[in-house]
Amino acid sequence: MLTYTYVKPGKFELQEKPKPGLKDSRDAIVRVTLGSICTSDLHIKHGSVPHAVPGVTVGHEMVGVVEDVGEDVIDIKPGDRVTVNVETFCGECFFCRRGYVNNCMDPNGGWALGCRIDGGQAEYVRVPYADQGLNRIPDTVSDEQALFVGDILATGFWSVRISEITSEDTILIIGAGPTGICTLLCALLKNPRRIIVCEQSPERIQFLQEHYPDILVTTPEHCEEFVRKNSDHGGADVVLEVAG
């Protein structure tokens, strides 16, 4: 199968690799139907991720159809349409039991897919701990609609949840790329007093103004003054940095 592979810092290339097989009874094999590129993939290319393994297939944002599962997989079965979580996790170690699955102590845990083990910019991907790493996509949801669930939407949701936002707060979101917009959508669920977004791209600013007219928008060079002017206590109550 054709894969997009990290060769060395500064170099990715298309390579042929064998279709992956099950290595553990908790694995699943997923046929990738749609994937996307993450800023973290660019970080690997630029040599900014020391634990990225040369020769690894990159990619951790994908959806697909389950082709095979190990004998200990309970919740997922062949034929299921699924999202793939960016974090694979054992669910049993010190960090997993406390909800910090990105710090999973298992060799295949945390950010493993597309970094330490082959990821999803390929035709097929092996997903460890399938019961934790895969979520079924409802029939009414398209691949395009589900694609962001495994990484950037989850990132926005998690960041908002741990920020303890209240209805009295002024929220500053730095960055209005795809992850920033997902964070904005999740922050809106908390009904804060006001949301300010800091962004420098004219195209993204226009998108914000067209789709979220009630959101305050500023640029980096005016951000501090703008936030002070539009906050009740001289600054934002919660700041979410989502600039990649």
| pLDDT tens per residue, range 45-99 | 999 999 999 999 999 999 999 999 999 999 999 999 999 999 999 999 999 999 8
Q: Beta strands 28-35 and 11-16: pairing type? A: unpaired
Share of the chain above pLDDT 70, in %: 100
Q: What is the mean pLDDT of the chain?
A: 95
**Per-residue confidence (pLDDT) for residue 115, from 0 to 100:** 95
pLDDT at 144 over 80: yes
Distance CA 163, CA 145 (A): 26
Distance CA 142, CA 153 (A): 15
CATH of region 155-241: 3.40.50.720
DSSP letter at 31?
E
Distance CA 90, CA 110 (A): 9
DSSP letter at 8?
E
Q: Which contiguous run of DSSP H or E holds residue 157? A: helix 152-162
CATH of region 2-150: 3.90.180.10
Q: Beta strands 134-136 and 81-84: pairing type? A: antiparallel
**Per-residue confidence (pLDDT) for residue 243, from 0 to 100:** 87
Distance CA 99, CA 12 (A): 33
pLDDT at 238 over 90: yes
Interior/surface letters 58-76, b for 16+ CB within 10 angstroms, e for the rest: bbbbbbbbbebbbeebeeb
Strands (E), the chain: 2-8, 11-16, 28-35, 62-69, 81-84, 124-127, 134-136, 170-174, 194-198, 216-218, 238-241
pLDDT at 140 over 90: yes
pLDDT at 14 over 90: yes
pTM (two decimals): 0.88
Which positions ≥6 away from 18 have C-beta within 8 Å?
A: 1
Nearest to 35 by CA among 115, 110, 122: 122
Residue 39 pLDDT level (bands cut at 50, 70, 90): confident
pLDDT at 244 over 80: no
* Contact in structure between 56 and 116 (CB atoms under 8 Å): yes
If phi > 0 it is left, if psi is from -120 to 50 it is alpha, else beta; for residue 77 that is beta
Which amino acid appears at position 83 of this protein? T
pLDDT tens-digit readout, 188-233: 999 999 999 999 999 999 999 999 999 999 999 999 999 999 999 8
Sketch the domain layout of the chain as residue ranges.
Answer: 2-150, 155-241
**Per-residue confidence (pLDDT) for residue 99, from 0 to 100:** 87
Nearest to 125 by CA among 204, 195, 61, 220: 61
